[in-house]
Amino acid sequence: MGQPGSVTSDAIIYLPGIMGSELVDAKGDVVWGLKPSLIFRQAIFGNVLDQLALRANDGIRASRPIQFPAALPMLSSMEPYRALEERLKTVVVAPEAVRPFAYDWRKSIADAASLLAPVARQVLSEVNTSLLLGAGQITETGPRRTEDGGLDASWALSWPEQRAAGIPPIVLLAHYGGGFHHPHLRGSTVRDWPLNVFTADDAAGQLCTLRAIASGDLHNLVYRADFRIVPAVTAG
């Protein structure tokens, strides 16, 4: 938080912990959170989480950090994020600079990988068309378990000159290490960018980052070999 009394001009975005985001259905009704009826049902029947099993197109989305309804202000002091948010607002130049990032905690890196896949393919296809003159080949792994217990998924672009030079391909890697607090994006020679993808719009928002990773990889690979690995440079 810095020194007492210090103020930052930066925006602060905080992520609720696991299961700390309120979930609502397509009608806007709370299906996970501090709604008294949900708490009662979970205590008596224990079936609230069962009904939240992830299903395709179930219409459930994250709305905000969990909090009690406005009709129960006497319980607000028990909310896990109220004190944190109020404290953060004391170190920014304006209260609106503090924003929560609620997310659907039911989804895994595997879901993020499926959303990210078409964006990653688009970026590598752009490089293949513009710089490799269509000579490249795109391969992908799909989600896979890593040695440290995490998950990753990668998309790679290889081409004849790169293979002949004995250098790695251009890689876009989404990974969530076993000891990490959140997933990241990286390349074969550049690393690491935060990765928080829960919707198709989130994935589309990674386009510029993925382009930066791909172009950074190609830049570094040229220095590992030479400019002649890029077909667009040597084409007559």
pLDDT at residue 86 greater than cutoff 70: yes
Q: How confident is the model at residue 109 (pLDDT cuts 50, 70, 90)?
A: confident
Percent of the chain with pLDDT over 90: 44
C-beta contacts of 15-18 below 8 A and 24+ residues apart: 15/100, 15/101, 15/103, 15/182, 15/196, 16/65, 16/66, 16/80, 16/81, 16/100, 16/101, 16/102, 16/103, 17/80, 18/105
Question: If you search the block for the tokens 């990988």, which residue do you land on?
Answer: 113
Measured between its terminal Cα atoms, the distance across the chain in Å is: 58
The rounded mean pLDDT for the chain is: 86
Give the least confident one: 30-39, 40-49, 153-162, 183-192: 40-49
> In the prediction, which pLDDT does 75 show?
47
Give the contacts of 57 (CB within 8 A, at least 6 positions apart): none
Q: How confident is the model at residue 229 (pLDDT cuts 50, 70, 90)?
A: very high
Q: How confident is the model at residue 133 (pLDDT cuts 50, 70, 90)?
A: very high
Q: For residues 112 and 153, which has the higher predicted lDDT (pLDDT)?
A: 153
